[in-house]
């Protein structure tokens, strides 16, 4: 086994259901009655390409010394000490309780590697529980439904980042584990037909991997090939050109465009490619909007730059166009290239890796709220239906793309003010080239009234 995970939490939060889900067997008893599990139970769990030992534990409870509940909690604490990773499960339906807070403190003192899981995420109250879970101080929570199997991919990613190799494993086993999930940047090239996507694809690979030519629409299937750039691995994907929906009449082209859209969902970074000989059209706006909606990091490649006679004037007009009609991609890196000659290919790929780092960036809560305070002082929120908006607190929910939760007294904030905050955030934290998500929570500050440990 590569590592050991202990599932802990208060009674009846779904630990045994999750144990059964991960082991693929109904080995642990499950019932609505709390406290069914008393002893530690081990099993072999699989999640994607991960295989590990998992320990189901009794519910953690505050109890008198010597009582059955106290001995059960002692067993759970032993499991925490034995495991490489602790998975603290809380109930998304009933929310965060003082018992959860108590044992979060215990875990923080005893264990460095923790995954915070909010179970029963299908329930109506789970969004509030997700927000409140940040105050446990255990990092970003993972929302799942152990009963229905939802959120398992998010749980996989959280465990994959924390997995460790046990000392008993052989060198062969270590090598196998390390190679199962290499850090590969998924990079898709997207644009209108005949802008040079396949030519760029071949240029980066250094071989004629896909067909190219003056005819539009040669590429139909999304073709992916793994390669390296300056020692960094990437999976490069060439896609079919995306025309306006009204211009797509053939079934094959419809399928090709659908394949391109599906590719977007699995890409990390997208090279949005345009032709320097053609002005930006409405379809370019649609492509950029689609990339932003999918939350992908973005680099704009202006192809056929070797054919431009006045580069400065061309770029000036492009930036004005982007600011006026594509504010959702403001600050995106713009790289003039020539897929035919290879001009600026290295600069383009370097920009892709840079925005990938930005896409994964995390801003600390303290730094974020100091920035927010300055923004509010500089430009106060407007009135909404005669009521003053009071923004109390902000925290980053996740990355890929950077997503934030803002707590306010009203659930709706004017779009213009949100743009003001987003633009300020881009400049302050260098979040250019990636979408930024802000969700409003009409909720009190989860740290309000709390004392430091």
- Confidence (pLDDT) at 126: 73
- Confidence (pLDDT) at 32: 38
Which parts of 219-344 are beta strand (E)? 223-229, 232-238, 269-275, 297-303, 334-336
| 8 A C-beta contact, residue 166 and residue 188 | no
Spatial separation of the C-alpha atoms in residues 353 and 308, rounded to whole Å: 27
Burial of 297 (0-12, 13-18, 19+ CB in 10 A): buried
- Confidence (pLDDT) at 40: 56
Strand partners, 143: 118
Query: In the chain, where are the structural domains located?
Result: 4-174, 185-359, 365-442
Task: Give, rounded to a whole angstrom, the gap between the first and last alpha carbons of the chain.
Answer: 36
pLDDT tens for each residue of 92-137: 888 888 888 887 887 887 756 899 999 988 877 677 888 888 888 8
The residue ranking higher by pLDDT, 13 or 177, is: 13
pLDDT above 70 coverage of the chain, percent: 76
Spatial separation of the C-alpha atoms in residues 168 and 78, rounded to whole Å: 20
pLDDT tens for each residue of 259-315: 677 878 889 999 999 999 987 888 888 888 889 888 999 999 999 999 999 999 999
Listed range (15-19, 201-205, 376-380, 443-447) with the worst mean pLDDT: 443-447
Q: What angle do CA 82, 84, 90 make, to 5 degrees?
A: 90
Helix (H) or strand (E) segment spanning residue 131: helix 126-133
pLDDT of 362 > 70? The answer is yes
Which parts of 101-198 are beta strand (E)? 114-119, 142-143, 185-191
- Confidence (pLDDT) at 161: 82
Does the domain at residues 4-174 carry the CATH identifier 3.40.50.300?
Answer: yes
Burial of 168 (0-12, 13-18, 19+ CB in 10 A): exposed
- Confidence (pLDDT) at 344: 96
- Confidence (pLDDT) at 347: 97
- Confidence (pLDDT) at 265: 82
Spatial separation of the C-alpha atoms in residues 107 and 114, rounded to whole Å: 8
| Among candidate residues 329, 376, 383, the one with its CA nearest the CA of residue 190 | 329
Burial of 22 (0-12, 13-18, 19+ CB in 10 A): buried
- Confidence (pLDDT) at 213: 55
Same fold, 4-174 and 185-359: yes
Spatial separation of the C-alpha atoms in residues 144 and 154, rounded to whole Å: 8
pLDDT range class, residue 346, cuts 50, 70, 90: very high
Beta 85-91 vs 4-8: how paired, if at all? parallel
Spatial separation of the C-alpha atoms in residues 433 and 431, rounded to whole Å: 7
Contacts of 35 (CB under 8 A, 6+ apart): 11, 12, 58, 59, 69, 72
- Confidence (pLDDT) at 14: 87
Tokens of 266: 């699995």
Give the neighbor-by-neighbor strand order of the sheet with 85-91: 41-47, 50-56, 4-8, 85-91, 114-119, 142-143
| Helix 415-429 with 365-378: angle, nearest 10 deg | 130
Spatial separation of the C-alpha atoms in residues 442 and 406, rounded to whole Å: 9
pTM, 2 dp: 0.58
Tokens of 91: 């109930």
Strand partners, 274: 302
Which parts of 409-447 are beta strand (E)? 437-442
pLDDT above 90 coverage of the chain, percent: 32
Return mean pLDDT, the chain: 79
Listed range (16-20, 26-30, 265-269) with the worst mean pLDDT: 26-30
Tell me the CATH number for domain 185-359.
3.40.50.300
Fold of 365-442: GMP Synthetase; Chain A, domain 3 (3.30.300)
Residue in this structure with the two tokens 């090239």, named with its chain if needed? 189
Strand partners, 403: 398, 437
- Confidence (pLDDT) at 370: 94
Contacts of 397 (CB under 8 A, 6+ apart): 140, 403, 404, 405, 437, 439
pLDDT of 66 > 60? The answer is no
- Over residues 448-453, mean pLDDT: 52
Contacts of 301 (CB under 8 A, 6+ apart): 200, 271, 272, 273, 274, 335, 337, 348
Q: What angle do CA 359, 362, 366 make, to 5 degrees?
A: 150
pLDDT range class, residue 167, cuts 50, 70, 90: very low
Tokens of 304: 């056929």
Convert 403-442 to b/e letters by CB count within 10 Å (16 or more is b).
bbbbbbeeeebeeebeeebbebbbebbebbbbbbebebbe
């Amino acid at each position: 086994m590569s590592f050991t995970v202990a599932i802990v939490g208060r009674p009846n939060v779904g630990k045994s259901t999750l144990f059964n889900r991960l082991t693929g067997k109904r080995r642990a008893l499950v019932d609505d009655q709390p406290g069914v599990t008393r002893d530690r139970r081990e099993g072999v769990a699989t999640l994607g390409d991960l295989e590990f030992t998992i320990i189901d534990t009794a519910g953690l409870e505050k109890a008198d010394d010597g009582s059955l509940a106290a001995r059960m909690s002692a067993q759970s604490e032993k499991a925490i000490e034995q495991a490489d990773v602790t998975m603290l499960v809380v109930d998304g339906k009933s929310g965060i309780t003082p018992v959860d807070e108590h044992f979060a403190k215990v875990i923080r003192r005893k264990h460095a590697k923790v995954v915070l899981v909010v179970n029963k995420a299908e329930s109506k109250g789970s969004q509030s529980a997700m927000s409140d879970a940040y105050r446990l101080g255990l990092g970003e929570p993972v929302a799942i439904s152990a009963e229905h199997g939802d959120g398992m991919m998010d749980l996989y990613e959280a465990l994959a980042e924390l997995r460790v190799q046990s000392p008993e494993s052989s060198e062969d086993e270590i090598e196998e584990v390390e190679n199962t999930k290499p850090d590969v940047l998924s990079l898709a090239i997207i644009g209108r037909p005949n802008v040079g996507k396949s030519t760029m694809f071949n240029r980066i690979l250094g071989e004629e991997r896909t067909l190219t030519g003056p005819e539009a629409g040669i590429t139909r299937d999304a073709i992916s090939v793994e390669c390296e750039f300056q020692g960094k691995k990437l999976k490069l994907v060439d896609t079919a050109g995306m025309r306006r929906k009204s211009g797509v009449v053939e079934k094959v082209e419809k399928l090709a465009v659908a394949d391109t859209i599906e590719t977007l969902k699995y890409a990390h970074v997208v090279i949005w490619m345009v032709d320097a000989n053609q002005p930006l059209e409405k379809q370019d706006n649609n492509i950029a909007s689609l990339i932003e909606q999918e939350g992908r990091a973005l680099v704009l490649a202006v192809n056929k730059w070797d054919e431009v006679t006045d580069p400065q004037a061309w770029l000036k007009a492009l930036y004005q166009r982007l600011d006026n009609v594509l504010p959702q991609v403001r600050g995106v890196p713009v790289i003039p290239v020539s897929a035919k000659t290879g001009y600026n290919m290295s600069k383009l790929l370097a920009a892709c890796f840079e925005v990938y780092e930005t896409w994964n960036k995390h801003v600390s809560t303290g730094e974020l709220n100091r920035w927010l305070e300055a923004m509010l002082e500089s430009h106060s929120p407007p009135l909404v239906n005669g009521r003053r908006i009071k923004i109390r607190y902000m925290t980053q929910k996740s990355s890929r793309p950077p997503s934030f939760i803002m707590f306010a007294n009203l659930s709706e904030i004017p779009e213009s003010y949100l743009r003001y905050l987003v633009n300020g955030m881009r400049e302050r934290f260098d979040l250019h080239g990636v979408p930024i998500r802000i969700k409003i929570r009409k909720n009190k500050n989860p740290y309000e009234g709390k004392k430091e440990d």
